[in-house]
Amino acid sequence: MAKTALQFRHNGRDVAIFVDGGTNLLVALRELIGDMTPKFGCGQGGCGACSVLIDGELHLSCLTLAETVAGRSVETLDGIKDGPNLHPLQRAFAENFAAQCGYCTPGMLMAAKALLDRNPSPSRTEVVEAISGNICRCTGYEPIINAVLAASGGRARA
Amino acid sequence: MPVTVRTFASSGEAAAALSSDRGARYLGGGTLVMRALNEGDISISTIVRASDHALTRIEAAGPRVTIGAGVTFARILAERDLSFLHAPARSIGGPAVRNMGTVGGNLFAPNPYGDFTVALLALDAVVSVRGGLGSRDVPIEEFLQSRERQTGTLVLSISCQKPGSAEAFRFRKIARIKPKGGSVITLAAHLPMSGGRIVGARVALGSMAPTQIRARAAERALEGRSLDAPTIGAAAAAAVEGTSPGDNALASAWYRREIVGVHLRRLLSGQE
Amino acid sequence: MLELRKDIFADERDDNLKEIGKGTQRQDMLGHVTGTSTYFDDHKLQGMLHLKVVRSTHSHARLRRIDTSEAERSPGVRRIIRGADVPRNLNTLLSLINFGKDDEPSLAVDKVRYKGEPIVAVVADSPREAFEAMSKVHVDYEPLPTVFDVEEALKPGAPVVNETYPKNTFTYYDVYDHQKLRFGDVERGLAGADHVLEQRYQMSPIEHAPTETNGSIAAPDTNGRYVVYTSTQALFFSVDTCAKILDVPSNTFHFIGGTVGGGFGGKVDTLTEPLCILAAMLIGRPVRYVFGREEEMQYGAPRGAERIYIKDGVMRDGRVVARKVRAYFDSGAYTRLSSYAAVKCAAHLPGPYTIPNVYGDIYCVFTNRTPATAMRGFGVTAMDFAIECQMDKLAHFVSMDPMEFRILNAYRDGDMKAHRREAKNTALIECVQVAAEKAKWPLREEFKRASSRTDGGGDRAVVPPTPREARPQPAMASQQRTSYDRTPAGTREPAVPPPPPPPPPPASRPPAAPSHGTTRFSSVFGTRRR
């Protein structure tokens, strides 16, 4: 199979891989780069477990042709820590019990980060809208919404 | 056979590649084509892409807007001159899907998707396509009815007139999950007014037929009348005529037929 | 956040609570928020192959021919696996505890019994190549009549779904085609009731839809063993099920469960590991088998649908004096855990209430649907839905407040329960009282004063006379043997005592004075509100 060279920035590091035609970004990240943080949940665009940031915008990596990120910046959960310290969102999720099985958590955190990077003080409605593409089967969403509001230092339970 | 990706600088070359290769599909935002590949659609062997800037251009300053087929719903939402299309754009997917999904791709989205296209149908949009014989403009209704035969063509852009006023154009998507979810039924109505009467009524429905359709009987009930309770009642009663909804996991055909009039009445009377 | 009602049952408790009432962090929370919690799929093994399954497109069909010759030649294909390749191609989950007969193939051979049933496994270098090979597998189906309704399935002449159980019901102790509960004389109770209410309740199958789909990765390890990463919730069930199906000692495997990305009961059936390990054995390479989302919805086992008929007799004063239940569990095409669900359901009747006449017939029925499995309190949850809807309707019938109605009928310590165990440590009354208080729902004084600890026992502790039904004598349960069981020493294996049949009514107790229940509730007899 013909392989295409692909270079991009992954969590601030320059990386280069070879991809088969048609490979999606989720597979490229997990199997070729070794970043297991984005997850496979559906392959259809319905669950958001594969969410990543491409040039700061929230995208679904399972529906992204890997080649299209050439020269761009891709951020995953693996990259949001600040050295050994947790990102405020990670700390807020932990403190607000915003995860049970944890499988939706990487996607939820990236969706929350995409929100707070643009809108540091969102309302509750804006938080709900921001995670509306992410499915959680365990928590019932309330702890996650509370965690995002808490991380924004904004109006909790607004 | 393995999948090959071919990227072209011009839409003309991309269109030629599409029309000459039965296994070729155009990649817009990826929400349709990548999904098909993920689910094992082996009929796709070539992915065609075009980096032509014309495909992502928005011309919205004047009374007639032209939106490149590659424009995403997120960009529509960021464009103030396209505020009349914000409700349809916002109804699509979640934030990630809106960053990826395109206006052109939505024309091909099957039930229970394709909600933006319902809005375009009510607005009498025109689809500019590039096929083997050059580009041409196709009225959207004709495009949708011949959609099966369109996979070899490349959609370049859509264009439509801006509605005269904000109230003239209404849109509603009924979904089980809020804020996002597949459509139980999607409705759009364009009711230009002249001297207190509706002139050129358009009512479009999604998930009520194999493709998005016009509700012509409802339109006839509205045409030339003022938008009052009896007129709305007549349109609601006629809404189901000509529809042929199917069953899916979100709703049965029976349910869709039962509610189309209810939701049209609410849409036309401005009720929640 | 959490309110502890220490006043209730205060004298029974040791209140040295160190953990309860305090927020305690999950041991894996840090892993979850950093994305380092390891799920089964978070392993990339060198040279990993991809397994995909060709599934039945018919709900019920004979398989006339399965042609894999073209698929075998497809590029990238390492191996095609068929039913004949599976060492022991018939299994049932609970055979591990000697409950039930082997009825389900890992790969169908001559017949398919539900849409999505696995027929052929394709193992290839890449998912794309596996998909292409799948399209080259040609299956010749002869469609058969289908049955999707539990009651239709029990009618004479209904299509036989699963030849292991030719009457379309699971067989208990080789003899019974349903679970029976008999306590008192329900027909007399219904005849003597002021009102009788019969309702039918129906649940749909419910899909767990975990965000992580079912899957496993199996790889040859050292010492002739295989390492298996799996999404299972039931690691030991899975090890032993695979050992049985693959006919090897269970210590052939090193099973490593990860964090489960949502189970809810849908990851107990060991659906992917046997074929995944078999592929690794046959090819000698790591193999990955993960459901796509559509597979998870169609083929992943749901909570079984249940149809429940409840016929209750209630007196004007609010006492429920008779409850007759007929319930059907839709097990789908194979048994899995539904046989056990029906047992739990029967034991659960009539709910947390003392009712002097109880009758239950609970069936585990086979239909041409996806085989059902456990989910969140299975066997009991749907029955509770039906019982509680029924209690509300009954309360409405006798114009009684639904909360007070429940307090009136609640079981109390010392009462005899329908399956002949004494009720102990009951607390329904207190739960209803606190719920009413929190909801600011007014209760009359006598209902506020009711207690689980008083007013039970006495006449209510008696097993009422229960008419005998003619029944066949149960045969000794047949013992299933597997190749890895130790061969018994001596000529004959010792007889396994059968599980006790439902006990006959006790002859020793004097029957309660007149009929069942007239004096039982005198101490909580209240006036009707309206």
Given a cut of 70, whether residue C150 has pLDDT beyond it is yes
Could you give the dihedral angle defined by the CA atoms of residues C331, C333, C335 and C340, in that order, rounded to the nearest 10 degrees?
A: 0
Give the closest-approach CA distance of B175 to chain C in angstroms.
19
The per-residue pLDDT for range C44-60, each reduced to its tens digit, is 999 999 999 999 999 99
| Band of pLDDT at residue A1, cut at 50, 70 and 90 | low
b/e A14-51 (16+ beta carbons within 10 angstroms → b):
ebebebbbbbbbbbbbbebbebbbbbbbbbbbbbbbbb
Question: B39: which chain C residues are within 8 Å (Cβ-Cβ)?
Answer: 292, 294
Q: Return the CATH class of domain B53-161.
A: alpha beta
Q: Nearest residue of B to residue C294 by CA position? A: B39
Nearest to A20 among B2, B29, B94 (CB): B2
Residues in chain B with pLDDT values less than 70: 132, 151
Q: Is the bond preceding B112 in cis, omega lying within 30 degrees of 0?
A: yes
Residues A64 and A94 placed together within one structural domain of the fold: no
What single-letter amino acid sits at A149? L
Beta strands in B56-206 (DSSP E): 58-59, 64-68, 126-131, 134-139, 154-161, 169-175, 183-190, 193-194, 197-198, 202-206
The rounded Cα C236 to chain-centroid distance in angstroms is 18
Find the chain A residues whose C-beta atoms sit closer than 8 A to any C-beta of C.
Answer: 20, 22, 30-31, 34, 36-37, 39-44, 46-47, 49, 76-78, 81, 86, 90-91, 93-94, 97, 99-106, 109, 135-138
Domain range spanning residue A147? Answer: 88-151
C292 contacts A137? CB cut-off 8 A: no
Q: What is the mean pLDDT of residues C490-505?
A: 46
The per-residue pLDDT for range C215-228, each reduced to its tens digit, is 999 999 989 999 99
A45 contacts B35? CB cut-off 8 A: yes
Residues A116 and A143 placed together within one structural domain of the fold: yes
Size of interface B-C (CB pairs under 8 A): 16
B31 contacts A130? CB cut-off 8 A: no
Q: Final residue of a domain: which of A27, A57, A78?
A: A78
For chain B positions 41-70, those within 8 Å of chain C (CB to CB) are: 42
- The rounded distance, in Å, linking the Cα atoms of B126 and C255 is 59
Question: Is there a contact between C192 and C178 (Cβ–Cβ < 8 Å)?
Answer: no
Residues A46 and A16 placed together within one structural domain of the fold: yes
C292 contacts B38? CB cut-off 8 A: yes
Question: B1: which chain C residues are within 8 Å (Cβ-Cβ)?
Answer: 132
Across all residues in chain C, what is the average pLDDT?
89
Query: What pLDDT, on a 0 to 100 scale, did the predictor assign at position C505?
Result: 47
Question: Is there a contact between C291 and C259 (Cβ–Cβ < 8 Å)?
Answer: no
Residues A48 and A73 placed together within one structural domain of the fold: yes
Find the chain C residues whose C-beta atoms sit closer than 8 A to any C-beta of A.
Answer: 23, 25-26, 28-35, 37-39, 41-42, 44, 126, 128, 208-213, 259-264, 290, 292-293
Report yes or no on A32 lying in a domain.
yes
Give the closest-approach CA distance of C128 to chain A in angstroms.
10
Residues A12 and A64 placed together within one structural domain of the fold: yes
Residue B5 touches partner C, C-beta closer than 8 Å: no
| Band of pLDDT at residue C10, cut at 50, 70 and 90 | confident
Give the closest-approach CA distance of B265 to chain A in angstroms.
27
B40 contacts C127? CB cut-off 8 A: yes
A22 contacts C23? CB cut-off 8 A: no
Residues A12 and A66 placed together within one structural domain of the fold: yes
Which of B39, B45, B250 has the most C C-beta neighbours within 10 Å, making it the best mutation to test the interface with C? B39
Range B57-62 contact pairs with CB under 8 angstroms and sequence separation of 24 or more: B57/B157, B58/B82
Find the chain B residues whose C-beta atoms sit closer than 8 A to any C-beta of A.
Answer: 2-5, 27, 29-31, 34-35, 37-39, 44, 47, 49, 74, 93-97, 99-100, 179-180
Query: What pLDDT, on a 0 to 100 scale, did the predictor assign at position C22?
Result: 80
Which of A42, A76, A97, A110 has the most C C-beta neighbours within 10 Å, making it the best mutation to test the interface with C? A42
The per-residue pLDDT for range C289-347, each reduced to its tens digit, is 999 999 999 999 999 999 999 999 999 999 999 999 999 999 999 999 999 999 999 99
User: Any idea what the CATH number is for the domain that residue A41 is in?
Assistant: 3.10.20.30
Out of A140-144, B3-7, B22-26, C479-483, pick the least confident.
C479-483
Q: Final residue of a domain: which of A78, A107, A137?
A: A78
Out of A45-54, C73-82, C483-492, pick the least confident.
C483-492
A45 contacts B95? CB cut-off 8 A: no
Q: Which residue in the block uniquely carries the two structure tokens 């890997």?
A: A66
Question: A63: which chain B residues are within 8 Å (Cβ-Cβ)?
Answer: 29-31, 34-35, 38, 100
The per-residue pLDDT for range C243-258, each reduced to its tens digit, is 999 999 999 999 999 7
Query: What pLDDT, on a 0 to 100 scale, did the predictor assign at position A134?
Result: 97
- The rounded distance, in Å, linking the Cα atoms of C476 and C496 is 8
Across all residues in chain A, what is the average pLDDT?
95
Q: Please count the structural domains in chain A.
A: 2
% helix, strand, coil for chain C, step of 5: 25, 20, 55
Residues A110 and A62 placed together within one structural domain of the fold: no
Tokens of C431: 């739960």
DSSP, collapsed to helix, strand or coil, labels residue C444 as coil
Residues A67 and A95 placed together within one structural domain of the fold: no
Question: A59: which chain B residues are within 8 Å (Cβ-Cβ)?
Answer: 96, 99-100
- The rounded distance, in Å, linking the Cα atoms of C460 and C416 is 6
Question: B2: which chain C residues are within 8 Å (Cβ-Cβ)?
Answer: 128
- The rounded distance, in Å, linking the Cα atoms of C148 and C157 is 14
Nearest to A57 among B3, B39, B99 (CB): B99
A65 contacts B34? CB cut-off 8 A: yes
Residues A74 and A8 placed together within one structural domain of the fold: yes
Where are the domains positioned within chain B? 4-50, 53-161, 166-269
Size of interface A-B (CB pairs under 8 A): 88
Pairing of strands B64-68, B154-161: antiparallel
Q: Final residue of a domain: which of A46, A78, A110?
A: A78
Residues A69 and A130 placed together within one structural domain of the fold: no
- The rounded distance, in Å, linking the Cα atoms of B128 and B260 is 31
In this structure, the number of other CB atoms found within 10 A of the CB of residue C485 comes to 9
Report yes or no on A157 lying in a domain.
no
Question: A68: which chain B residues are within 8 Å (Cβ-Cβ)?
Answer: 30, 49
Question: Is there a contact between C208 and C300 (Cβ–Cβ < 8 Å)?
Answer: yes
B38 contacts A24? CB cut-off 8 A: yes
The per-residue pLDDT for range C345-402, each reduced to its tens digit, is 999 999 999 999 999 999 999 999 999 999 999 899 999 999 999 999 999 999 999 9
Out of B55-59, C3-7, C311-315, C449-453, pick the least confident.
C3-7
Residues A96 and A135 placed together within one structural domain of the fold: yes
Query: What pLDDT, on a 0 to 100 scale, did the predictor assign at position C6?
Result: 83
Residues A74 and A17 placed together within one structural domain of the fold: yes
DSSP, collapsed to helix, strand or coil, labels residue B64 as strand
User: Any idea what the CATH number is for the domain that residue A145 is in?
Assistant: 1.10.150.120
**CATH superfamily membership of B166-269:** CO dehydrogenase flavoprotein, C-terminal domain (3.30.390.50)
B touches which chains (3+ CB pairs under 8 A)? A, C
Query: What pLDDT, on a 0 to 100 scale, did the predictor assign at position C1?
Result: 62
Question: C212: which chain A residues are within 8 Å (Cβ-Cβ)?
Answer: 39, 41, 49, 101, 103
Query: What pLDDT, on a 0 to 100 scale, did the predictor assign at position A82?
Result: 84
Q: Nearest residue of B to residue C75 by CA position? A: B1
- The rounded distance, in Å, linking the Cα atoms of C193 and A147 is 55
Give the closest-approach CA distance of A54 to chain B in angstroms.
10
In sign, the C-alpha dihedral spanning B90, B96, B99, B104 is negative
Query: What pLDDT, on a 0 to 100 scale, did the predictor assign at position C362?
Result: 97
Size of interface A-C (CB pairs under 8 A): 96
Residue B148 touches partner C, C-beta closer than 8 Å: no
Question: C122: which chain B residues are within 8 Å (Cβ-Cβ)?
Answer: none
Nearest to B96 among A21, A22, A48 (CB): A48
A114 contacts B31? CB cut-off 8 A: no
SS (H, E, C) C211-254: CCCCEEEEEECHHHCEEEEECCCCHHHHHHHHHHHHCCCHHHEE
**Domains B53-161 and B166-269 equal at CATH topology level:** no
Give the closest-approach CA distance of C90 to chain B in angstroms.
29
How far CA C439 is from CA of B75, C164, C345, C465, C529, in Å, comes to: 48, 52, 30, 41, 20
Query: What pLDDT, on a 0 to 100 scale, did the predictor assign at position C480?
Result: 53
